[in-house]
Amino acid sequence: MSSESRRRGLLFVVSAPSGTGKTTLVERLVERVPNLRMSRSYTSRPMRPGEADGVDYHFISREQFEAMIRTGAFMEWADVFGNLYGTSRADTEQVLARGEDLVLVIDVQGARRVRQGRIPATSIFVLPPSFEILEQRLRGRSRDDEPQIRRRLAVARDEVGAYREYDYLVINDHLEPAVERLRSIVVAECARREAMELDAKRILESFTKRIAVSN
Ligand code: 5GP
């Protein structure tokens, strides 16, 4: 199919404070929605045990990351807890041009950059049910020491305060209903007239041709 006759993919941005479980949510979401992919970011953060390069992230050095910033390779990027994270402009364009929908799991600053860049996207903010539950989850995963947990909770408060900047909100109280809510948002966005325009035109044309033939 030529690119003019193919629908361009839709871009989704998902943000949530760390510990909200957004990665699990979005992993389940992409398993459930055909044609939806999760973007793979670049990061300067060191790999954690169990992670793999090119799977969880593209792991690069800070120097390589800074060089990519200089050449404008990132559609958005941010410094999160002292590490750099970014979404490749070229990778994103390739996926959308192929007609696939793409979800970026990025922080609040990155989502702001997408908006400032006037990049068409639907944004979703995932909220933890409460401060207490987020605190429990952060302690439960025992990845961070006490000062790190405190820092994440303070950042989380600022991030939750940014919920008004997003198009949709999902509270992650229970995994399954939260995934379904996310899925509903994606399905509804894909059914918007603007997103369906090419299909609708094709259907209309089939009528026009038949009626022209029979007259
Ligand atoms: P982690 O190091 O725990 O994998 O991720 C830390 C934070 O970085 C998360 O809030 C995650 O959403 C955010 N993040 C991951 N990739 C990107 C990205 O490409 N851009 C931005 N702005 N944030 C990202």
Which domains, and CATH codes, for the chain? 3-38+101-214 (3.40.50.300)
What order do you get walking across the sheet with 42-43 strand by strand?
Answer: 58-59, 42-43, 83-88, 74-80
**What is residue 45's three-state secondary structure?**
coil
Give residue 1's pLDDT: 56
pLDDT digits (tens, 9 = 90+) for 134-143: 999 999 887 7
Give residue 211's pLDDT: 79
Ligand 1 centre from 177 Cα, in Å?
Answer: 24
Strand 83-88, strand 101-105: pairing: unpaired
Atom 15 (ligand 1) nearest CA:
106
Contacts of 138 (CB under 8 A, 6+ apart): 18, 19, 144, 149, 152, 153
pLDDT at 86 over 60: yes
Atom from ligand 1 closest to the CA of residue 78? 22
pLDDT at 3 over 80: no
Ligand 1 centre from 193 Cα, in Å?
Answer: 32
Whole-number average pLDDT of the chain:
94
pLDDT digits (tens, 9 = 90+) for 46-77: 999 999 999 999 999 999 999 999 999 999 99
**Residue ranges around ligand 1 (CB below 6 Å):** 18, 41, 45, 76-78, 80, 85-87, 105-107, 109-110
Q: Cα–Cα–Cα angle for 74, 76, 79, nearest 5°?
A: 105
Ligand 1 centre from 92 Cα, in Å?
Answer: 16
pLDDT digits (tens, 9 = 90+) for 173-206: 999 999 999 999 999 999 999 999 999 999 999 9
Over residues 9-30, mean pLDDT: 95
